Structure 1
Amino acid sequence: MNSSTSPESNVSGNSKLSRFCNLDPNNAQQLKIATLAYIGFNFLLWTVLAILSQTAPHKDNVEELFWIQHFDWGYPKFGPISTWWVYAWVSLLGRSFWVTYVAGQINVALMLLVVWRISLLIMSPARALMAVVLTSLITYHSINGIQASSNLLQLFPTALFLWSLLLAVRNQNWWRWVLVGVTGAICLLTKYSAGIWFAVMGIWVLTDSRMHSLKAMKGVFIAIAAGVIATIPHILWLIRENAPTIQYMRFQVSGEINHMSQVAKFIASQMGKLSPIIIALLVLNFTFRRGPHDMMAPDVKIDQPKEMRFIAFAAIGPMLLTSLLGTAFISLHANWATSYFIMLGAFALRWVPLVNERRALKQVLRIGLALNITIACGTALYYGLVADLMSKTPRANFPAKQLGSKVDQIWKEHSEGPFKIVIGETWIAGVASVMSKHQPLVVPYGNYAEAAAVNPELVRRCGAMVLVDPSEGKLNPNMRAFLERAAKNGSFNIPWNRFKQKPLYEVNWAIIEPEIKNACPQ
């Protein structure tokens, strides 16, 4: 039976959505256009709704926006790639919060594009499109997709690494192994957790029969050499700066913990992030069981078994290895798994019933679009309206614009020179910097080591504003030292709500006067 004549399609056959979902699985060009259209729609859906609904971004976005004020081969917590990525988009579009949403979602879109290209090497174009749709439903790629964190921005580099590795194993060209090394280096320079990927895919390489020769293994050494060469500038930066990123990594993974309990929480958190794709698979199987049995057909193109091992390693390997390490060695953080599920959509196709491809593709598109739109609109509605009506205070509805205006007003009233430097906790200082018309440099927590663009001499010449959120608790010694130098201080309150005058957000401020009059560079 042809699904185009079924009662189901006749009901909505005239709608654009129905025509989009009712694709010909044998028309590769049509499927290519549909895949690109879906990726573009996904990008616009999440980016536009975030811009319209959220007044402030995730804390990591704010952090990247003040790190880009200094261009270097490394930053206090991570390698340079994520910051360079944000820097590129800010250079093009300006230093605003919404630009970080664009940067995050373009990264997701490019990752989905690479997932599609990898899938085309292994399965039919129809199933490759289904893999893209299922991958897009994972919470890390949707709700978290507007975060400009190193975890999120590792998605595209990791996808490139997987793609280049698969092509190198299949074709065995030396230059492909060079690409493996370079993409691996980009992955590592985004976040060191790329080491998990290297271990997992290294095991796959060693177990793949195509690599069981000296000639093939030479390619691995070429990749390692290329990767090391590509990371040399960062290594030199580590030596020069006393390796702050490695110190931060040690801090993140250390601590006295109940390992088994934390692993259980880690896995439970990941199941929550994967819930949309799980729901999609359950609905798909339910609808197919209820459908007519004569829809079952032998026209399904079976995926290449050898390459499905690659998909399996990529889809579940990083999660398994991280959980294993967490049982005895390291502390675990849920967001570390952000890049772990890039190939899970392709892997999940084994749970999509082997029915007529036209019908399967139609159902995947319908369910995927329905879930994606529902989750996106629900998220935007919560942050754009419900949170304020319920007097909730997630950072996404923070009064960023009001804070920037108030800070500028205070500086104008109490200081004569240019507003060049703001000192404070990452969030309040970073938001003030972005929203101020002066775009001051940031010294997070009063720590010069985290603000390469600022030095004590610049503070002496230009002065600074110190901002304190009293709810943060006890101040560190650096912050106390700056406050002791302040000549003027005060406080103000702004409503953390777009519709009500409460709850109020309290801010303490202090101004450090320049020690040298008229010496601050304009």
Structure 2
Amino acid sequence: MADPTVAVNDAIALEKKTWPVKFYVLLFLIGMVALWSILCGISHKSPDLDNMEELVWASSFEWGYYKHPPVPAWFMYGLTSLFGKPIWLTFFAGQLFSAIALWFVWLLGCEFTTPRRAFIAVLLVSVTAYFSVRATVYNHNSVQLWSIVASTWLFYRALRYGKTSDWLWLGAACGMAFITKYSALIQFAAFFVFFIRQKHYRQAGVCKGVLWALLTFLVVISPHVYWLFQHSFEPLYYADESIKPIEANFSSLNDIWGFATTQLGRLAPMFVAWLALLYWDRRGKAAGHDAVPETSRYAASLSAWDRSFLLIVGFSPFVLTVLVSGALGTALGASWASTFFVLFGFYVFWWLYGDEAVQLRRTAIVVIVIHVLMACGYALGRGPLGYYTGRKTDSTFPGVAISEEMQAVWREHVPGVPLTLVASDTWLGGNIAVHVKPAANVFIDGSLKESPWLKAGAMKCGMLVAYSKTTNGNAPGPRIKKLYDQAVFKGVVQQRWSTAKSPLIVIDWGIIAPEAGCRAAAR
């Protein structure tokens, strides 16, 4: 039996070895979150549609929502309980989960390589669009990043060490990934491919561990599954509708090509960093500064099992998705690949070599420069440039001005009663409601199914009904039109999107007066 004192001493020694790097990893992640959150918070007048949707859904804690499983709305519900509903919160939340995912990337790397080399991989993958630009969009893709990487780390640990606790935590992490977005199944398929390729099914201990993981997985998802039964599996139908068939095979190949090239574009900042490091290495070698032979690549120090894990688990999600789409002839959404490339930072190990402290310093310089340039460019393009060129973008939408005008209309016609309910689509209604103090609720498209936070009596204090063809692009839905027809006061407001040459936003509004039993009216 192993001496427990030795095990404890080994753990202490490992902690002492990783702590200096751990500090810099945390410092980098905090800086990354601050950089992107602050610049987006300053430059954006309104958040992206997905961000607004999560702010609206955060009005109540539910086990599911009509379009998606619930985890992103849970986290936003907790954050809004603390901070209210400022739009900067959505940018911060998206970047926060990106940083948590990168932390798990580092933990995974520390399992098979040195903390410094693992940090190099973290730095490189952090500049890909899904961890940087697109992490400012708080939606089910960005929130799923952390649970997918955590599941990957725990899958590695469970197979490598065989601890029951790792299997249990693996099941819990996979459960969280699944009830964040059902697309987690593609990552589970990648795990299965590696499981079969390495013949782990022949090991009784591993099979027992899988059962433990399955048990905790089912426990975690069971409340949501119960909710699905109660609500006629609404999110599954929405997911099915999102998978659009392509009739012609040639069109399917074009779609796959477009999907693949889009992913290359979103990985491009990492490729730029790779090229910068390669150039730095070549220049150092030419000057005679790098004495380490080129054959000492970092990947050579990894075991064959570790290399297989990185390649199979890393590439399988993309490959399987393309194969399934090609076989079924279905269209691919570019954002579906948000979690497919979390291990790609480690692939630099196949050509990177030399003093890891030197390489880490070089990587940090390159990556920080790229992050600053990307964040500043994104903020400038989505903020001042978008505004002064009169572009119709979510980021320049005058949400505050429209909300203030709608509140003034409400106070004029319903004095003494606060505005608590806005019946509209998610985008327009959300932009009005989140700027009301205290924040009003949104009656999404006049549907109680889509607005589970509305309980009995929620409409007694009246509501503001608003719709705009300028923002929605369509005529109001039948439920909104029916509510509008019931309004006792009606009118139209107009507001430029940004500058004088930007589109004119025309909003039709109506007010349904409070009932006699409204407590706010009584006060």
> Scaled by the length of structure 2, what TM-score is found?
0.89
Q: Which residue of 2 aligns with 1:481?
A: 482
User: CA separation in 2, counterparts of 1:246 and 1:437?
Assistant: 35
User: CA separation in 2, counterparts of 1:381 and 1:437?
Assistant: 29
User: CA separation in 1, counterparts of 2:54 and 2:390?
Assistant: 28
Describe how 1:197-212 pairs up with structure 2 within 5 A.
197-209=187-199, 211-212=201-202
Query: What are the ranges of 5 or more consecutive residues in structure 2 without an aligned counterpart?
Result: 1-15
| One-letter amino acid of the counterpart of residue 297, structure 1 | V
Verify the 8 A CA contact 2:391 2:502 in the aligned structure 1.
no
Describe how 1:3-42 pairs up with structure 2 within 5 A.
28-42=18-32
Alpha-carbon displacement from aligned partner over 1:416-475 (angstroms, at most 9, x marks no partner): 43322111121101111111224221122222210012268533x222111111232233
User: CA separation in 2, counterparts of 1:374 and 1:115?
Assistant: 24
| One-letter amino acid of the counterpart of residue 339, structure 1 | T
Quickly say closer, same or farther: Cα 1:30–1:173, change in 2 above 3 A: closer
User: CA separation in 2, counterparts of 1:107 and 1:391?
Assistant: 32
247, 250, 259: which one aligns with 1:266 = 259
Alpha-carbon displacement from aligned partner over 1:197-224 (angstroms, at most 9, x marks no partner): 1111111122225553122212112211
SS at match of 1:423: strand
Verify the 8 A CA contact 1:296 1:356 in the aligned structure 2.
no
Describe how 1:119-518 pairs up with structure 2 within 5 A.
119-209=109-199, 211-257=201-247, 258-293=251-286, 294=288, 295-298=290-293, 302-329=301-328, 330-351=330-351, 353-416=352-415, 417-454=417-454, 458-459=458-459, 461-471=460-470, 472-497=473-498, 502-516=502-516, 518=518
Structure 2 residue 89 is matched with structure 1 residue 90: no
Q: Which residue of 1 aligns with 2:4?
A: none
Residue 515 of structure 1: CA displacement?
4.6
Residue 324 of structure 1: CA displacement?
1.2
SS at match of 2:258: helix
SS at match of 2:449: helix
SS at match of 2:64: coil
Verify the 8 A CA contact 1:178 1:226 in the aligned structure 2.
yes
Quick check: 444-453 or 182-191, which moved more? 444-453
User: CA separation in 1, counterparts of 2:18 and 2:230?
Assistant: 52
Quickly say closer, same or farther: Cα 1:110–1:340, change in 2 above 3 A: same
Identity of aligned residues (%): 26
User: CA separation in 1, counterparts of 2:177 and 2:37?
Assistant: 24
Moved over 6 A (4+): none
Verify the 8 A CA contact 1:300 1:357 in the aligned structure 2.
no
Aligned length: 494
Q: Which residue of 2 aligns with 1:11?
A: none
| One-letter amino acid of the counterpart of residue 511, structure 1 | I
User: CA separation in 1, counterparts of 2:390 and 2:255?
Assistant: 32
User: CA separation in 2, counterparts of 1:280 and 1:194?
Assistant: 29
User: CA separation in 2, counterparts of 1:434 and 1:156?
Assistant: 27
| One-letter amino acid of the counterpart of residue 78, structure 2 | A
Residue 347 of structure 1: CA displacement?
2.5
Verify the 8 A CA contact 2:44 2:379 in the aligned structure 1.
yes
Alpha-carbon displacement from aligned partner over 1:476-510 (angstroms, at most 9, x marks no partner): 2222222221222111122322x657443222211
Alpha-carbon displacement from aligned partner over 1:284-326 (angstroms, at most 9, x marks no partner): 2233223334314057652333112222223221111111111
Verify the 8 A CA contact 2:94 2:137 in the aligned structure 1.
yes
User: CA separation in 2, counterparts of 1:102 and 1:219?
Assistant: 37
User: CA separation in 2, counterparts of 1:496 and 1:64?
Assistant: 23
Verify the 8 A CA contact 2:493 2:508 in the aligned structure 1.
yes
Alpha-carbon displacement from aligned partner over 1:372-428 (angstroms, at most 9, x marks no partner): 111111111122211122222211121111111111111111224332211112110
Query: What are the ranges of 5 or more consecutive residues in structure 1 without an aligned counterpart?
Result: 1-25
Alpha-carbon displacement from aligned partner over 1:218-263 (angstroms, at most 9, x marks no partner): 2112211221122111111111111111111111114445322222
Verify the 8 A CA contact 2:419 2:436 in the aligned structure 1.
no
Verify the 8 A CA contact 1:74 1:238 in the aligned structure 2.
yes
Quick check: 67-76 or 31-40, which moved more? 31-40
Verify the 8 A CA contact 1:206 1:212 in the aligned structure 2.
no
| One-letter amino acid of the counterpart of residue 444, structure 2 | P
User: CA separation in 1, counterparts of 2:361 and 2:164?
Assistant: 41
User: CA separation in 1, counterparts of 2:39 and 2:481?
Assistant: 40
User: CA separation in 2, counterparts of 1:252 and 1:456?
Assistant: 33
> RMSD value over aligned CA atoms?
2.1
Quick check: 80-89 or 509-518, which moved more? 509-518
Verify the 8 A CA contact 1:423 1:429 in the aligned structure 2.
yes
Verify the 8 A CA contact 2:21 2:116 in the aligned structure 1.
yes
| One-letter amino acid of the counterpart of residue 57, structure 1 | P
User: CA separation in 2, counterparts of 1:284 and 1:333?
Assistant: 32
Quickly say closer, same or farther: Cα 1:27–1:366, change in 2 above 3 A: farther
